[in-house]
Amino acid sequence: MQNLQSIKYFAVIMIAAAISLNAQIQPAMLNQPMNNFTLPTYDGKTVSLSDFKGKNVLVIFPRVFAAEGRWCSICNYQYAELMALAKKAKDKYNLEFLYVISFSEKTIHNWIDALPDQMIAIEQMKTPKDNTEQSNRRATFAKNFFVNKYEFTKGEVPTPFPILIDSARTVSKSLGIFTTEWNGSKVEQDIPSLYLLDKNGILKFKYVSQTTADRPKNDYLLQVFDSFLK
């Protein structure tokens, strides 16, 4: 009898926890306003999504880590690609970029500091020193995926758009994209995601990656901007 009561009590606790978790998840729905959020920025300011009413906004959530203690190379390359995209799209589409990282300010500092070496590592991946099957597969992928070459100077990595600090994972958890296991890797990370809002704050397009290599390229995003942004 006591065991049965314990089982019932445990079941009630689990159901309550599940309800609580689901209540926290507030998916961003297409053609609906995206929930407002306010976060500190890496340069010491505070930014709210609602600050950009009257402008189109692209909100980016990178994965950051691919494994414990290993940066996500694709995220780093995508950051460089987004800088190139911002130069083309910001004025043409009245578009603001918000880059949300779900880690501490210290981690963001380390990530920015590591970007120059990460760009070098990406180029080295294309021409491996050994001739193993694994290295050759990685080289083929790198040549096809990391098409453009980017270089940064240590201590001078540009930050042309706000980097928002979501260290409490408030926003990423509310969107259901924060996880501790994804794409075969057990590490705290966000599922790479993009959210495009029009000047009225309405979500017009979203892209949540299925694998770490599943990222929309700049030419695709330009087509999306042409389709949805006035």
For 112-151, how does the pLDDT look when each residue is reduced to its tens digit (9 = 90+)? 999 999 999 999 999 999 989 999 999 999 999 999 999 9
How far, CA to CA in Å, does 87 sit from each of 59, 75, 102, 176? 16, 19, 25, 30
Select from 207, 165, 188, 160 the least CA-distant residue to 37: 165
How open is the CA angle 41-75-230, to the nearest 5 degrees? 70
Q: For 150-193, what is each residue's pLDDT tens digit?
A: 999 999 999 999 999 999 999 999 999 999 999 999 999 999 99
At residue 3, the pLDDT reads 53
Instruction: Give residue 230's pLDDT.
Output: 74
* Token pair of 2 as six digits: 């006591």
Gyration radius from the chain CA atoms: 20
The answer to whether 171 and 26 are in contact (CB under 8 A) is no
Q: Could you tell me the pTM of the whole model?
A: 0.88
pLDDT at 12 over 70: no
Maximum Cα–Cα distance for the chain, whole Å? 70
Q: What is the pLDDT of residues 33-74, one digit of tens each?
A: 999 999 999 999 999 999 999 999 999 999 999 999 999 999
| Residue 139 CA to its chain's centroid (Å) | 24
Per CATH, the homologous superfamily of domain 27-228 is Glutaredoxin (3.40.30.10)
Q: Please report, for residues 13, 87, 161, 184, 192, the alpha-carbon distance to residue 211 in angstroms, rounded to integers and kept in the order given.
A: 33, 27, 25, 9, 9
**Domain extents in the chain:** 27-228
**Which CA distances in Å does 32 have to 135, 192, 201, 224?**
45, 21, 8, 17
Statement: residue 8 has pLDDT above 50: no
One-letter amino acid for residue 139 of the chain: A
Does the CA dihedral 200-203-204-208 come out positive or negative? positive
Q: Please provide residue 41's backbone torsions phi and psi, each rounded to the nearest 5 degrees.
A: -110, 160
